[in-house]
Amino acid sequence: MKPRLHFQESAISGWFPFSVARPEMIPQPKKLVLLFLVAILLLDSWSIVDSDLASDRIALQALRKAVGGRSLLWNVSTNPCSWVGVFCQRDRVVELRLPAMGLSGQLPVALGNLTQLQSLSLRFNALSGPVPADIANLASLRNLYLQGNLFSGEIPEFLFNLQNLVRIDLAHNNFSGEISPSFNKLTRLGTLHLENNQLTGSIPELNLPSLDQFNVSFNKLTGPIPQRLSGKPTAAFEGNSLCGKPLAPCNGTSNGNDKLSGGAIAGIVIGCVLGFLLIVMILIILYRRMRTKQGVAKDTQEPKQREVQIPREKAVADRGNGSPENSGTGDSESEIAKNEAKKGETKNLVFIGNTPRTFDLEDLLRASAEVLGKGTFGTTYKASLEMGVAVAVKRLKDVAVTEKEFREKIESIGKINHENLVPLRAYYYNKEEKLLVYDYMPMGSLSALLHGNRGAGRTPLNWDTRSGIALGAARGIAYLHSQGPAISHGNIKSSNILLTRSFEARVSDFGLAHLAGPTSTPNRVDGYRAPEVTDARKISQKADVYSFGILLLELLTGKAPTHSPLNDEGVDLPRWVQSVVREEWTSEVFDLELLRYQNIEEDMVQLLQLAINCTAQYPDTRPSMAEVRNQIEELCRSNSQDREDDKSSHSADSGAPPP
C-alpha cells in the first residue's frame, strides 16, 4: 500500500543519498524516518500560519476594545477572516474596511501587527487623536482611507516610508502643520486628499507623475500654487489664501501671456469709448424719466435696498377708496375684489380670511425690499414695513390664467391652513403686477441651510433637526393632499421648504403650479420631477410623493439633485443611491455630517428605505403621503423614546431618580 504522503517525497528527496521516486524501494526503517520528518515539516508550517493569524486576531481584538466593541459585533470564537470588514488571503488579513461604523476614541498601538495589510479604511467615524506610529510597520499598505474623522496633529512623517501607498485620504479631519515635501518619496501615489483640515503654510513642489486626484481645499494654506499642480481644478484649492493657476494670479501678474497685441489694445480703447457714451445716454434717459414722475424721490432714499416695483400712480390714486381702513362698508375683501374686477382695475391688497389689516399697498410701496431669491414662479422679496413688521412678497411672472381664474385659485389657496404650510396673507392683481404676501420665515430655506457654506466654521445639521424637518414637511404635504384627490403641490423641492427660528418646516409655493404658463415650466423641477410627468403644470399626488422622496435623499446624502456632480455623469440622485445600496455599501450614501453622530445608523437606513420607496419608477408602487407621514412620525417617536430610555438608564446608573 502506497503511503498517503507520497506527493511530499520529491520535495525532500535531495536530503537523502538514496532515491525516493518509488516508496517500495526505500528500506522500512528509513521510510519511517522520512515520514516522521515530513510530519514535522507540515506541523511546523501550520503552526507558523496559525501564529501569524493569531497575531492578526490579537491586533483586531485590541482595535475592537479601543474604539467600539458595541459597533464591531465580531464573534471572537470564530476565524477572524469571517468577521465583518475583515478580508483575508492565505490566512492573513489583507484588508480592513470599517467605514461609518460609529467608531470613536483613539486607535490603539496594535494595527502595526497586521503586517500583510494592503487596505485600511476607517473613514466616516469619530476617531480622534494622532495616527499611531506602528502603522509604519504596514510595508504592504496601498490604500489608506481615514477621512471624516477627528484625527489631529501633524501628518505623520512615518507615512512617507510606506513606499507602496497609492491612495491617501485624510480629508475632513483636524490635521495641522504644513504639507511635507516628503510626499515626493511616495512615487506610486495617485490620490491625495487633504481638504477640510487645519493645514498651514504653502503647498510644496510635488513631483509625483501618477498623481491624478489632489485636493487641499478649505485649509489655511497660503502662497502660490506650484506649477506642476496648476492643471488641477479650481475646487482643489478653494477655501485657502492661495494664488496662481487655476486661481487668481499672484501679485497682480497674469497667469498667461502678459503681452497684448495691438488689435487687443485698440479693441479695449474702442470698447471704453463706446461704454462711456452708452452710460451718458442712459443717464440722460433716466434723468428725463425722473422729471416726469411725481412723488418718486421719497421712495428712493435707500440706494442699497430694492423696492417691490408696483405701479405707484394707480395705488396713490386709489388710496382711501378700497382700503379696509377707510371703506367702513363691512364688505369682505373678496367682494371688493369682485367689484374692482368689474371696473378693470385693482384698488388695494386683498386680504385672506381673518388676516389682520395692519398694512396696505402704500405701506408695501414705502417698504424697503431685499431680494430673497428668484424661483420658479417669480422673485421673492423681504419687505420691511415702517411699523417694524416683515413680510415675504412674491412677484409672480408668466401668469397664464384669466383674472377670474387667478382670483378663484388664489382664494382657494388662501383657505388651506396648516401649521406646516406657509400661510398666504394677501394678494394684489392688475394687468401689470401680481403679488402674493406671505409670512416671512427668518431662517430661509432648507436648500440654503443644507448646501450653503460647507467650509470651516459651518454648523452641521444634526440628525434630530433633519428628521424633524422631514416630518414637518411630510405633515404639510399630507394635509394638502387630504383636501381632495385633485389637490397637489406641484413643485416640491428643498428651496420651497422654509424654516422658522426653531427649525420647524413650512412648505411654500403650494398651488402655484396651475397659474404658470407652459413656457416657464419645462425645466423647473429638474432633479425632483417624477419620470411620468410630461406637463409640469399637471402634477399628481403620486408625483408629489416622488419629489418628496428626492427631498428625503437630499436630507440624507447632503447632495443637491440639481447641482451635484452626479448629473455631470448622467446619473440622477435616486439611481446613484440605489446603485450604492446594491453594492452593500449603504453607509457611503449618507452625508458626512450625519456620520459624526452615533447610534443613528438604523434610523438613517429606515428613512433611506422610505425615500427609495417614494422614488419608485411606477406611481402605483409609491406610498401615499399619509403613509409617508405616518412612517416618519413612528421613526421620530421611537427616537424620542430611545432618548428617554437613555436618560432613565443614565439616571439609574448614577443613583438618581429618572427625570
Binding residues for ATP: 394
The answer to whether 212 and 191 have CB atoms below 8 angstroms apart is yes
Q: Which of 305, 407, 293, 308 is nearest to 352 (CA)?
A: 407
Q: Which of 74, 10, 8, 14 is nearest to 39 (CA)?
A: 8
| Sign, Cα dihedral of 276, 282, 283, 284 | positive
Residue whose grid cell is 492565505:
90
Strands laid side by side in the 378-384 sheet: 350-351, 424-429, 434-439, 390-396, 378-384, 368-374
Q: Which of 441, 425, 590 is nearest to 503 (CA)?
A: 441
Q: Which of 576, 602, 598, 600 is nearest to 589 (CA)?
A: 576
At 65, is the secondary structure helix, strand, or coil? helix
CB under 8 A, 24+ apart: contacts of 300-305: 302/368, 305/368, 305/369, 305/370
Query: Residue 39: in which H helix or E strand, if any?
Result: helix 28-67
Distances (CA, A) of 78 to 48, 53, 57, 75: 19, 12, 10, 6
Across 388-496, where does the E strand assignment appear? 390-396, 424-429, 434-439
Query: Residue 268: in which H helix or E strand, if any?
Result: helix 262-292
Q: Helix 541-557 and helix 625-654: axis angle, to 10°?
A: 30
Looking at this protein, which amino acid is placed at residue 654? S
At 8, is the secondary structure helix, strand, or coil? helix
DSSP state of 420: T
Quote the cell numbers at residue 87.
478580508
For 522-568, give the DSSP string.
Answer: TTTTTTTS-TT-S-TT---HHHHHHHHHHHHHHHHH---TTTSHHHH
Q: Which of 174, 223, 180, 222 is nearest to 196 (CA)?
A: 174
Quote the cell numbers at residue 593.
455630517
Cβ burial of 195 (10 Å; 0-12, 13-18, 19+) is: buried
Residue 58 CA to residue 104 CA, distance in Å, equals 19
Query: How long, in residues, is the chain?
Result: 659
The answer to whether 614 and 531 have CB atoms below 8 angstroms apart is no
The answer to whether 189 and 170 have CB atoms below 8 angstroms apart is no
Can you say which residues are annotated as belonging to the binding site?
Answer: 394
Distances (CA, A) of 590 to 146, 159, 312, 494, 587: 16, 29, 51, 17, 6
Residue 79 CA to residue 98 CA, distance in Å, equals 18
Quote the cell numbers at residue 169.
485620504
Q: What is the dihedral of CA 532, 537, 540, 544, to 10 degrees?
A: 90
Looking at this protein, which amino acid is placed at residue 23? P
226 cis-preceded (ω within 30 degrees of 0): no
Strands laid side by side in the 174-178 sheet: 104-106, 126-129, 150-154, 174-178, 198-201, 220-224, 241-243
